[in-house]
């Protein structure tokens, strides 16, 4: 069995996958499962159908299924404010990449009359957030991770890499100082000060390795 994510990685869109599922569900033979995946009208209808199905699932969700309210509280769909419901509907519309008209129709059917300008602002904002989320690595979670948390995780990872690079840079500087010590005529017992500092930085907290055999440099043992 091949995971659907493999096909998505190769460019299969959610709408195309939906068309394939519909062909299978309708009982078409395997040689007709791909019918319509390059038909623009069929794909647009599939996007709208998927969007409406997602909203309908939220509307009919059981009372023990909870959603996040605007203030962070968690409630069933029926107890959500109109603003929270609109946010979820706009998110579903962005995920399905539907045009404005079907989004506005479903939004008004769900929460009542809303100005077109406000609906356009909400939808465009959700599309921008979705586009940002698409640029981030897939966290492989079934439930979507809040965008703020995903960005924070990436920033923490980048910060850790920067810290490691700073430590390596300091290590290289210490190594160069050790070489300078040799060239500046310091006594042999001080030649390895930079190298030891480099070892401590790169292997902090690890047991020191056994010193190797002595080598000769300029006729002296080190």
Residues contacting residue 70 through CB under 8 Å, at least 6 positions apart = 81, 83, 84, 87
Instruction: Report pLDDT for 210.
Output: 45
- Please determine, for residue 102, whether its predicted confidence score (pLDDT) is greater than 90: yes
The yes-or-no verdict on residue 14 having pLDDT over 60 is: yes
Q: What span, in angstroms and rounded, lies between the C-alpha atoms of 61 and 171?
A: 58
Q: Which of 82, 87, 154, 155 is nearest to 127 (CA)?
A: 87
| Cα(43)–Cα(37) distance, integer angstroms | 7
| More confident call, 154 vs 96 | 96
Q: What's the pLDDT score for residue 120?
A: 92
Q: What is the pLDDT of residues 21-32, one digit of tens each?
A: 888 888 989 888
Q: Which secondary-structure segment (H or E) carries 64?
A: none
**pLDDT computed for residue 146 by the predictor:** 63
Residue 220 in this model has a pLDDT that exceeds 60: no
What is the DSSP annotation of 125-158?
A: HHHHHHHHHHHSPP---SSPPPHHHHHHHHHHHH
- Rounded to whole angstroms, how far apart are CA atoms 133 and 131? 5
Res 177 pLDDT > 70: no
Domain extents for the chain?
39-135, 139-206
pLDDT at 83 over 80: yes
β-bridge partners, 74: 68
Q: What percent of the chain has pLDDT over 90?
A: 27
* 2-6, 75-79, 121-125: the lowest-pLDDT one: 2-6
């Amino acid at each position: 069995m091949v995971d659907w994510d493999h096909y998505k990685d190769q460019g299969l869109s959610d709408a195309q996958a939906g068309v394939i599922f519909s062909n299978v569900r309708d009982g078409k033979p395997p040689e007709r499962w791909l019918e319509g995946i390059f038909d623009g009208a069929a794909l647009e209808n599939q996007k709208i159908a998927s969007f409406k199905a997602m909203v309908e699932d939220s509307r009919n969700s059981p009372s023990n299924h909870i959603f996040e309210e605007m203030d962070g509280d968690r409630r069933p769909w029926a107890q959500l404010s109109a603003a929270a419901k609109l946010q979820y509907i706009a998110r579903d519309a962005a995920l399905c990449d539907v045009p404005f008209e079907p989004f506005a129709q479903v939004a008004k059917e769900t929460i009542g009359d809303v100005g077109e300008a406000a609906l356009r602002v909400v939808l465009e904002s959700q599309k921008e957030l979705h586009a940002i989320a698409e640029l981030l690595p897939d966290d492989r979670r079934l439930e979507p991770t809040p965008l703020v948390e995903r960005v924070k995780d990436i920033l923490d990872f980048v910060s850790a890499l920067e810290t490691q690079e700073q430590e390596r840079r300091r290590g290289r500087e210490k190594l160069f100082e050790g070489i300078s010590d040799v060239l500046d005529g310091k006594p042999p017992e001080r030649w390895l000060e930079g190298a030891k500092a480099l070892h401590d930085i790169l292997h902090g907290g690890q047991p020191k390795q056994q010193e190797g055999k002595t080598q000769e440099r300029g006729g002296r043992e080190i």
